[in-house]
Amino acid sequence: MRPLWLCRRCGQPWPCGAAKLALVTQYREMPVSLFLYLASRLHDAIDDLHLLNPSVTGSGPELFGRFLGWPDRSYPAATSAPRVDQSPWPSSP
């Protein structure tokens, strides 16, 4: 619910638990896209909330945590990606 940035279903600050689950499911194969999407939402939320009431917009770290601080716990570590150990060039004799 913009410009308040509350969930339309439960009224909690967005992204709420249900929204986080839906986002992780939707972006399961594209974690970078999820971070880009959330970063753009963070930017919009800062603008909207500041226009509504600059004195209660929330601190930068608080809003960062709300929008971008949670997905890293939802995805496996980058080291779990398959490794490519073979060079595209033939080895020397």
DSSP 7-54: -TTT-SBSS-HHHHHHHHHHTTT-HHHHHHHHHHHHHHHHHHHHHH-G
The average pLDDT across 2-8 equals: 91
Q: Is the pLDDT higher at 73 or at 18? A: 18
Q: What is the DSSP letter of 55?
A: G
Write down the pTM of the prediction: 0.72
Q: What pLDDT score does 87 carry?
A: 46
Query: 80-92, pLDDT tens digit by residue?
Result: 444 444 445 544 4
Query: 39-58, pLDDT tens digit by residue?
Result: 999 999 988 888 888 776 66
Does residue 25 register a pLDDT over 50? yes
Residue 4: both structure tokens together: 């308040």
